Amino acid sequence: MRLLFVVDPLPDLKACKDSSVAMMRAAAARGHEIWATSVDRLRWECGERGEGVAAEAVALTIAADDRDWYRAHAAQTLRLADCGAVLMRKDPPFDIEYVTATWLLEQAEREGARVFNRPRALRDHSEKLALAEFAGFAPPSLVTRDATRLAAFIEREGDTILKPLDGMGGRGVFRVRGDDPNRNVIIETLSGDGARSVMAQRFLPAIADGDKRVLLIGGEVVPYCLARVPKPGETRGNLAVGGFGEVRPLTARDREIGAALAPVMAARGLLFVGIDVIGDCLTEINVTSPTCMVEIAKGSDVDPAALFVAALERACAS
């Protein structure tokens, strides 16, 4: 099967930890053709020579060496509907160009392409605000651009996390206490003086034991998670800001949360989802380009990338 990955520039992908590369390796091991493109190379055209949604793409030969993990062949034009599957793995920001890419991918679906994660589902699931659908698992939370309401939430909770709705990797995340002299300026900065909505959540002391990334693949819960533990003096566990990862079996609560979300996500065409759990609380639902496959594979007897390829094959055969 020809698989087209829509990813960030190939030289920027760190093969030693990148889940997209892990997927490519697992798919190549199963005999699939691996192709790559980027959102700026997607196009739609109609007319006498119109081909629908297409992309300039390169076929890849995948290697095991993390420093020299691929060889790209000459670029060709691929019609997306002629691929066995299209894997949308572009990292945020979730800006207008990302949204435009989902529109193009949705048109490709109308032309017969199989796209995972489904573009409409990507648009419909804000990685922060999607939590509202599963509020029973969430800590006390608020999403608003109203500075007065944010300040009142901080006063009520006493110890709070503030974060932008479009961030990733821990960027723009603040821990704010009720007596913090910088509280108002943090609110003003994050909200752009009321121009942008902000998420506030009760600070969870269990973050000291790790922010657990639980993977949902093809409607099933992977039995191990990666707990991302903050470095000393830090409240964010994200690996991108210096947290360290520890692979652990899921707790009963992790499994409960994962089992509640997994079939719902799969039914919407979200083949691969990464949920974040701190203590007993669900804090985020990541659908754009979830990570942590490589770390979990190295620290357990489960290979999430292989599970993903098997789920992809089943989805394409159905």
Among the listed residues 248, 254, 306, 310, the one whose alpha carbon sits nearest the alpha carbon of residue 283: 254
Question: What single-letter amino acid sits at 158?
Answer: G
Q: Which pTM does this prediction carry?
A: 0.94
Each domain of the chain, given as residue ranges in start order, spans 2-117, 140-203, 206-307
Question: Which CATH superfamily is 206-307 part of?
Answer: ATP-grasp fold, B domain (3.30.470.20)
H/E run at residue 20: helix 19-29
Q: Domain spanning 2-117 has what CATH number?
A: 3.40.50.20
The length of the chain, given as a count of residues = 318
pLDDT tens for each residue of the chain, 318 residues long: 999 999 999 999 999 999 999 999 999 999 999 999 999 999 999 887 768 999 999 999 999 999 999 999 999 999 999 999 999 999 988 899 999 999 999 999 999 999 999 999 999 999 899 999 999 999 999 999 999 999 999 999 999 999 998 876 667 899 999 899 999 999 999 999 999 999 999 999 999 999 999 999 999 999 999 999 988 867 776 766 677 899 999 999 999 999 999 999 999 999 999 999 999 999 999 999 999 999 999 999 999 999 999 999 999 998
Q: Please give the single-letter amino acid code of residue 230.
A: P
Whole-number pLDDT of residue 244 = 83
User: Which position has the token pair 């723009």?
Assistant: 172
Peptide bond into 182 cis (omega under 30): no
Residue 175: partners with Cβ closer than 8 Å, 6 or more residues away: 159, 160, 161, 162, 203, 235
Domain 140-203 class?
alpha beta
Measured CA to CA, the distance from residue 254 to residue 276 in angstroms comes to 10
pLDDT of 237 reads 67
SS3 content of the chain, % helix, strand, coil (to 5): 35, 30, 35
CA 158 to the chain's CA centroid: 30
Residues with active-site annotation = 128, 163, 213, 228, 236, 276, 284, 286
pLDDT of residue 165: 86
- Residue 250's pLDDT is 98
